[in-house]
């Protein structure tokens, strides 16, 4: 086999790398190479064990994980860590779950690097929404159904996040809602208040891509109850129902073996 040319901006002081939703299957080749050729990996909690296992033993790992709404390394501390490591001359991979540019506080960390005069590169990863849609056998957009896709967070620094509920309540709209479990009742209430059809399909995909993956499907009318069923990280696909025929990738692999 011909060697595959990988372009990973090897001279960046810090490379932001998206790890994908958890399974090694979804790590990009570029991300894999970046993890092999670095001195230190600063990673989040949502970076799964399958991915961390691919980091060679001598490479230093710094866990700056945050547990849900619980205690965490502050953003200021994370910024200070990556800046200090890079200024010390170590090549840094800043590894984040999913895609680095989606609810990953990427810009805040880039600004800290810029303030310190440090270079950076970005290797995007597969975000949980696209992997969740694949898991239920659906496209995130569809001709004649939705011309746009909304990516929302269920909460922000002020608490439950307000959104354009009136727009999202229109027939055919599709949204991927991140961090939406705790705010599911709020989201349900807001959408119904703005006239969304209670029969709109809603699918919550938990632990996307991992052996613990679970698909909980229902309608807007029981979104709050569905959310109570999930214990792991979950993305809510508003406006999409699972297709019966969609098989888990593991199932396909088993069938071929
Ligand atoms: C801080 S955001 C990070 C999102 C990440 N950058 C991405 O692109 O997927 C964390 C949220 O992403 C979603 N998430 C991350 N990993 C997931 C997974 N394996 N399964 C389902 N949802 C996941 C959940 O909504 C979780 O609360």
Judge if 145 and 97 occupy the same domain: no
Q: In this structure, is residue 42 part of a structural domain?
A: yes
Residue 67 binned pLDDT confidence (cut-offs 50, 70, 90): low
Judge if 146 and 209 occupy the same domain: yes
Ligand 1 probe mutation, 101, 230, 233, 238, most atoms within 8 A of CB? 233
Q: In this structure, is residue 112 part of a structural domain?
A: yes
Calpha distance 54→50 (Å, rounded): 7
pTM exceeds 0.75: yes
133 in ligand 1 pocket by Cβ < 6 Å?
no
Q: In this structure, is residue 256 part of a structural domain?
A: no
| Mean pLDDT across 190-218 | 96
Residue 253 binned pLDDT confidence (cut-offs 50, 70, 90): very low
Structure tokens at 203: 């699918």
Q: Are 234 and 205 in contact (CB under 8 A)?
A: yes
| Mean pLDDT across 57-77 | 82
pLDDT value of position 251: 45
Q: State residue 254 phi and psi, 5-degree precision.
A: -60, -40
For 12-42, what is the HEC assignment?
Answer: CCEEEEECECCCHHHCCHHHHHHHHCCCEEE
Structure tokens at 68: 């849900």
Closest Cα to atom 7 of ligand 1? 98
What pLDDT, in 10s, does the model give residues 3-52?
A: 555 555 557 999 999 999 999 999 999 999 999 999 999 999 889 899 99
Q: How far is the CA of 99 from the centre of ligand 1 (A)?
A: 9
103 in ligand 1 pocket by Cβ < 6 Å?
yes
Q: In this structure, is residue 179 part of a structural domain?
A: yes
Q: Which of 75, 76, 237 has its CA nearest to residue 152?
A: 237
What pLDDT, in 10s, does the model give residues 111-148?
A: 999 999 999 999 999 999 999 999 999 999 999 999 99
For 188, the domain range is 128-238
Judge if 48 and 73 occupy the same domain: yes
Please say if 39 is a catalytic residue.
Answer: no
Q: In this structure, is residue 253 part of a structural domain?
A: no
Domain tally, the chain: 2
Higher-scoring residue by pLDDT: 162, 67? 162
Closest Cα to atom 1 of ligand 1? 103
Judge if 111 and 204 occupy the same domain: no
Please say if 44 is a catalytic residue.
Answer: yes
Lowest model confidence (mean pLDDT) among 93-107, 155-169, 220-234: 155-169
Judge if 56 and 146 occupy the same domain: no
Question: What secondary structure does DSSP assign to 73-114, as a single string?
Answer: --HHHHHHHHHHHHHTT--EEEEESB-TTSSS-HHHHHHHHH
Judge if 93 and 186 occupy the same domain: no
Q: In this structure, is residue 77 part of a structural domain?
A: yes
């Amino acid at each position: 086999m011909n060697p595959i040319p990988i372009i990973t901006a090897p001279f960046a002081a810090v490379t932001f790398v998206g790890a994908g939703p958890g399974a090694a299957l979804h790590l990009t080749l570029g991300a894999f190479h970046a993890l092999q050729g670095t001195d230190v990996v600063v990673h989040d909690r949502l970076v799964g064990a399958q991915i961390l296992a691919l980091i060679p033993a001598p490479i230093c790992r710094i866990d700056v994980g945050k547990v849900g709404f619980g205690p965490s390394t502050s953003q200021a501390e994370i910024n200070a860590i990556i800046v200090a490591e890079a200024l010390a001359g170590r090549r840094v991979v800043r590894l984040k779950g999913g895609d680095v540019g989606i609810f990953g506080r990427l810009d805040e960390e880039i600004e800290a690097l810029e303030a310190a005069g440090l270079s950076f590169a970005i290797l995007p990863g597969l975000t949980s929404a696209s992997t969740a849609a694949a898991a239920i056998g659906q496209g995130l957009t569809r001709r004649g159904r939705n011309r746009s896709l909304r990516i929302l967070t269920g909460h922000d620094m002020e608490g439950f996040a307000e959104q354009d509920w009136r727009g999202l309540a229109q027939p055919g709209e599709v949204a991927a809602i991140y961090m939406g479990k705790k705010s599911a009742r709020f989201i349900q209430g807001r959408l119904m208040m703005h006239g969304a059809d209670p029969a709109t399909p809603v699918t919550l995909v938990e632990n996307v891509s991992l052996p613990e993956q679970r698909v909980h499907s229902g309608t807007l009318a029981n979104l709050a109850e569905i959310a109570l069923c999930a214990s792991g990280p979950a993305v809510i696909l508003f406006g999409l129902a699972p297709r019966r025929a969609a098989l888990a990738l593991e199932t396909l692999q088993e069938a071929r073996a």
